[in-house]
A and B are shown apart, each in its own frame.
Chain A
Amino acid sequence: MAGATSEALPLADRTITDVGERLRGREVSSRELVETCLTRIRRDAQRLNTFLAIGEEAALAASDVADAALSRGHGTNRPLLGIPYALKDIFVTQALDEDGRPNGGLPTTAGSRILAGYRSPYASDAEERLRAAGAVLLGKTNCDEFAMGSSNENSAYGPVRNAWDETTVPGGSSGGSSTAVAAGQAYFALGTDTGGSIRQPASLSGVIGLKPTYGRVSRYGMVAFASSLDQCGPFTRSVRDSALVLRALAGHDPRDSTSVEESVPDYAAALSGDVHGLRLGVPREYFVAGMEPGVEAAVREGIRVLEGLGAEIVEVSLPSTDKGLATYYIIAPAEASANLARYDGIRYGFSAGEDELLANYLRTRGEGFGPEVKRRIMLGTYALSAGYYDAYYVKAQQVRTLIKAEFDQVLTDVDALLAPTSPSVAFKIGAKTDDPLLMYLNDACTLPVNIAGLPGVSVPCGLADGLPVGLQVIGRAFDEATVLRVADAYERVAGFAELRPPTAHD
C-alpha cells in the first residue's frame, strides 16, 4: 500500500503510516516508539545538536495514555494517536500553571539568548491540536534565532549539523526539525516557514516539508517573525504523513484572526496516485544562473517522471520572480522590527538589569539578540523610518501585488507549479556566514510563494554529490490537496521514498 515502508528500515526510520498501523495492530507500543526516538536523540545529541529541550518523562507518560487508548481500540480515525513528534522551538509550550509555577512543560527560546529560560504561560494552537490528536511531544528543536536564517547557524545554541554530512548545514531556519525527521529522532516535526524555512531545510535534509496556505493553520503561540508571511507546517518521511499532520493542524482558530473558516478536506483520502489530466506549470525563471547542475538535473528528471505519469507539463513565466528577494528583504525585516520591539527586558526574557530605562533597552537588546536578528531589525527599522517608508516599504508592497497577480494568473491556467526548492544542496558550515546576501539567495525559489501566500511542498527528488535535492510543488491558495496529490504520485514511483541518511541504519 502507499506509504508502507520496507522491512529493511529500522523502526526509527519508518513512516507514520507504517508505525501507525503497527500501533493499531498492537505489534508495537507508543512507549517503544518514544524509546526508539529517545535512543536516537541521545546517540546523536552531540553530533547533530538537534534538540534544545527534551521532555522524556512527559513523553513516556503520554505514550502510556496513548497505549491505553489504542488497547481499547480507540485508534480508528486517529492516525497520530501514539506517534512521537517534535516542535520547532518557535512554538510556545505551556510551562507554567495557573499559579505561575513550572508545570513540567518545556521552555521556549526561539533559538535566542533573549528568551533563555522563558516559560510560556499558555500553549500554542499547534501543541493543543496535536495533543488532542494523541500525538506525543518529545521535545523542542533547534532553529535559527527567531527563524531568521537559511542554515541554522544563527541559533544562539549552536548550529544543527546535517544528518547526511556533519560538515554541512541542514538548511534553515527549521533545521532542527528537518534533521530530527531525517535522523530518526521523531516521526514528524513542525517547522515554521516565512520565506522557505520549512521547504528549504526539507530539501537539504532529504525529507518532506509542507508550507500550507497563509491562513490555513492557526499561528497562535508561534513566536512572531513576519506576520503577513509566517505559516507553520510539518516535516515527514512521506507525503501521506504530511497529509495526516496537516489534517490535524488545519482549521479556524478564533485566537488567530488571520486563520480562515475554510473547510478542511481529508487530505490523505485525496492521494489517488493519479495525475492524468493535471496541467503542471514549470516557471522558467526558477531555473536561474547559479543553480547547481546536479540540482537542476534532479529537478528536471522529477518533472519528466510526472510527465510520464500522464501530467501535462507546460512552461510558464512568472516575470517578477527576480524581484522576490528584494521585496521579501524589505517586508520581512520591516514586520520583524515591529514584532521584536516587544523584547524590552521588562516583562519577560533576558534583561541587562540597568537602572536607567534607555540604557536597559540598549544593553538588553544589544546583548540579547544575535548578529542576523540585529541586521534585520536595522534593515526593517530603516525601511520604515521617516523619509524611506514610501521608497522601500510601500514600494515592496506594490511589487508584492505584482508577484501575487502573476501567480494568480498562471494558476488559472495550470493546476500547480513545479520548481526547484533550493538552488543548491547542503553547503559547508561556515561557507556563507560572512556574506548575508549570499545566504539570502538560498531562499530565492521559496520566498515568492510566501509573498503570494500559497501552499508549497518540497519532496525529495534524488541526490546530487551524495546530498539530497528537493522538488517543489506550488499550488493555488487553499488547494493543498492538489499539491499533496502531485507530490504523492511522484513519490510513489520516483524511488526516493526510502531515502535515508547513511547514518540512519544502525
Chain B
Amino acid sequence: MISREDVEHVAALARLGLTKSELDRMVGQLNRILEAIAQLQDVDTSSVGPTAQVIPLENVMRDDVPRPGISREAGLANAPRTEGALLRVPLILEEGR
C-alpha cells in the first residue's frame, strides 16, 4: 500500500505540483496499478541478471573533435525568460544566506 504521505513525497521528488483532488485520485490509482505490478514478486529471478536494453552495443564512442552545434540565438529562442544573451533563471543563492 502506498499512503497519501508517500504520494506527496513522490510528487515532491518529481517536482510535480498536484492539487488536492489530483492527490486524492492518485492515491487510489497508484495503489491499483502497484497491486497489479506486485505479481512480478512471484517470479523467481534469483539466477537472472537485469536487462537494461536489448541490443549488443556498449560504450559507443565517437571521435573527440569539435563540431558546430546550434547557435546561441536558436538555443535561446524557446526560452521563457532571457536577459541579453543569457537564460534568466529564478534566484537560487541569496547574499547573506
Residues of chain A whose beta carbon lies under 8 Å from any beta carbon of chain B? 96-101, 118-119, 121-122, 214-215, 228, 254, 257-258, 260, 320, 322-323, 325-327, 329-330, 337, 341, 344-351, 353-358, 360-363, 365-367, 369, 371, 374-375, 377-379, 381-382, 385, 391-392, 394-402, 404, 436-437, 440, 452-453, 477
Contacts and interface: CB of A to CB of B under 8 A. Distances in A.
Given A349-B78, A357-B90, A398-B45, A374 B18 contact: yes
Interface in B61-95: 62, 70-81, 87, 89-92
Nearest to B42: A323
Contacts of B13: 381, 385
Contact of B43 (A214, A330, A399): A399
Question: Do most interface residues of chain B lie in helix, strand or loop, or is the interface mixed?
Answer: loop
B57 A260 contact: yes
Interface of B: 2, 6-7, 10-11, 13-19, 22, 26, 29-30, 32-34, 36-41, 43, 45, 48-55, 57, 60, 62, 70-81, 87, 89-92
B26 A378 contact: yes
Contacts of A100: 71-77
23 contacts: A98-B71, A99-B71, A99-B73, A100-B74, A121-B71, A121-B74, A329-B37, A347-B79, A356-B90, A357-B90, A358-B15, A366-B16, A374-B26, A375-B26, A375-B30, A377-B14, A382-B2, A382-B10, A396-B40, A399-B45, A401-B49, A402-B48, A437-B33
Centre residue among A96, A118, A341, A363 by max chain B CB count within 10 A: A96
Given A354-B90, A382-B10, A437-B36, A365 B17 contact: yes
A96 B92 CA distance: 31
Given A394-B50, A395-B40, A378 B7 contact: yes
A97 B71 CA distance: 9
A478 to B, nearest CB: 9
A257 B60 CA distance: 6
Nearest to A345: B80
Contacts of A452: 54
Contacts of B26: 374-375, 378
A205 to B, nearest CB: 27
B75 A121 contact: yes
Given A347-B79, A391-B41, A378 B51 contact: no
A341 B57 CA distance: 26
Contacts of B6: 382
B36 A378 contact: no
A361 B38 CA distance: 31
B16 A378 contact: yes
Given A397-B50, A398-B49, A348 B78 contact: yes
Contacts of B39: 322-323, 326
Nearest to B59: A257
A385 B10 contact: yes
A356 B51 CA distance: 40
B50 A401 contact: yes
A98 B76 CA distance: 11
Given A362-B17, A366-B16, A385-B13, 20 more contacts: A98-B71, A100-B73, A121-B75, A260-B55, A326-B38, A327-B40, A329-B33, A329-B36, A354-B90, A356-B90, A357-B92, A361-B17, A365-B17, A366-B18, A374-B22, A375-B33, A378-B14, A379-B34, A397-B52, A401-B51
B48 A326 contact: no
B41 A395 contact: yes
